[in-house]
Amino acid sequence: MSTASDSRAAFLLGLPRHERAAMLAAMDQRQHQSLRHHWRLWAHAGQLPPHGEWLGWLILAGRGFGKTRAGAEWVRAIAENDPQARIALVGASLGEARSVMVEGDSGLLALAPRGRRPRFEPSKRQLRWPSGAQATLFAAGEPESLRGPQHSHAWCDEIAKWDNGKAESAWDNLLLGLRLGERPQVVATTTPRAVPLLKRLLDHPEVAVTRGRTFDNKANLPPRFIAAVRREYGRSALGRQELDGELITDIEGALWTRALLEACRTAAASGTGGGWSRVVVGVDPPASAQGDACGIVVCALGEDGTAHVLADASVEKASPERWARAVSRTAQGWQADRVVAEANQGGAMVESVLRAADLSLPVRLVHASRGKTARAEPVAALYEAGRVRHAGQFPALEDQLCGLLAGGAYAGPGRSPDRADALVWALTELMLGRQAAPRVWLS
């Protein structure tokens, strides 16, 4: 049944975009409220489905672009207009699917108009719309749960965050079950990361791709947020990925690749413990307080001989007293049994500054006799052999690792790979140093 707001929305949608924007701007709050569920009035171009025939629609954009809202509004339109729709909602975990896709500020429950809101049954992981359409929640981390169920549509959120070892299996099982209705479709929304599944979708001939930046949605974001992220991240690699929605690719000849780092990723460490046989803090002191960062990276050796990168506690533009205190706090917080600090810049001064911050700090100074890349090569080989794991995400550290090139050069970001150098010192101490326990490794 058509309503006055439906008629008003139809009239506005028939106007050129600039005239529509002017009329919406002139309306009062009550008029806005009556039109708030007419999504096409408010969406920017990147949030609307592409024209033509497509199996998949990939929204690859920066944070705050409105990806979640776009995915939820697409699902709502399907559910309200197709009583036979059977929709899969796939998140990295069931908890994320529920908290973001269903119950979040831009989730399906918040967006639904009164009288057309779906009923959510958490015990069954299902939503049921008054139209008869249904949606079921799934976790990408449990790909076998997608084996068997049939669907007509699917929305997959933050696919670049899915467990890298299970992401492609989850996607394949989903597609094999996408066989109901005349035109099965799937929407995937994500901030880019160089993972195999995302690269696969970008190469798929039946996947339409929408790219976007955080600033494309600036009309709906607080000005202070926009100013803060511009100031903090600018054109850094992290900013290009998280704000500009750019897929950061590998540098030719790099010792580390994005795929290599994703393959070694595990869940973030919550604190001390974990059954570590040793914990080491690697430190790459800065030459001056106005120059590079002080690299401070925590690594631990597991009982199985695998090393784990636990934390990047590096500090920027810090005085000697400040970075020494940061090293002390980090060593105490992770109960480190060794702090390995490069002494090429400052020599005995490095040890004296650290001792001043904490007299009991278990410091060992190391002197670099080879270049940074030469020291990094045997550590990169440990990654290739599967003997190092990253406990969570370390964007700034990983950007530096991917900038170290075979042959001695560093391609950035920044002037110096301070964080990467601290990691190299810590892993050398744990895995390659003379004190490492002898082991026999079977291939």
User: Do residue 79 and residue 146 come from a single domain?
Assistant: yes
Among 215, 158, 216, 233, CA closest to 188: 158
Check pLDDT > 80 for residue 430: yes
Largest pairwise CA distance in the chain: 82
Our CA angle for 287, 295, 196, nearest 5°, is 135
Higher-pLDDT residue of 123 and 435 is 123
Q: Evaluate whether residue 18 is within a structural domain.
A: no
Residue 274, classified by CB atoms within 10 Å of its CB into exposed (0-12), middle (13-18) or buried (19+), is middle
Indicate whether 1 pLDDT > 60: no
Quickly tell me which residue has 């636990």 as its tokens: 310
Q: How far apart are CA 388 and CA 382, in angstroms?
A: 6
What average pLDDT score do residues 240-250 get?
A: 81
- pTM comes to 0.63
Tokens of 90: 């796939």
List the Cα angle 410/413/417 in 5-degree steps: 55
Residues in the chain, total: 443
pLDDT band at 4 (very low <50, low <70, confident <90, very high): low
Q: Which two tokens stand for residue 48?
A: 């609307």
Residues 323 and 224 in one domain: no
Domain range enclosing 401: 258-432
**14 lies in some domain:** no
Q: Are residues 226 and 359 in the same domain?
A: no
Q: Is residue 3 assigned to a domain?
A: no
State percent of the chain over pLDDT 90: 54
Q: How many domains does the chain have?
A: 2
Measured between alpha carbons, how far is 89 from 50 in angstroms, rounded to an integer? 20
d(CA 143, CA 283): 40
**pLDDT average, residue stretch 396-423:** 88
Note the pLDDT tens digit of each residue in 93-145. Answer: 999 999 999 999 999 999 998 888 999 999 999 999 999 999 999 999 999 99
Looking at the structure, do residues 338 and 373 belong to the same domain, yes or no?
A: yes
Looking at the structure, do residues 221 and 268 belong to the same domain, yes or no?
no
Q: What Cα–Cα distance (Å) separates residue 341 from each residue in 49, 219, 281, 436?
A: 53, 47, 8, 17
- Considering the chain, what is the average pLDDT of its residues? 86
Instruction: List the structure tokens of 374.
Output: 């030469």
Question: Mean of the pLDDT values across residues 350-354?
Answer: 81
Q: Would you give the DSSP letter of residue 248?
A: P
**Bond preceding residue 413 cis, omega within 30 of 0:** yes
Ranges 175-184, 252-261, 293-302: which has the least confidence: 252-261
Q: What CATH number should be reported for the domain holding residue 346?
A: 3.30.420.240
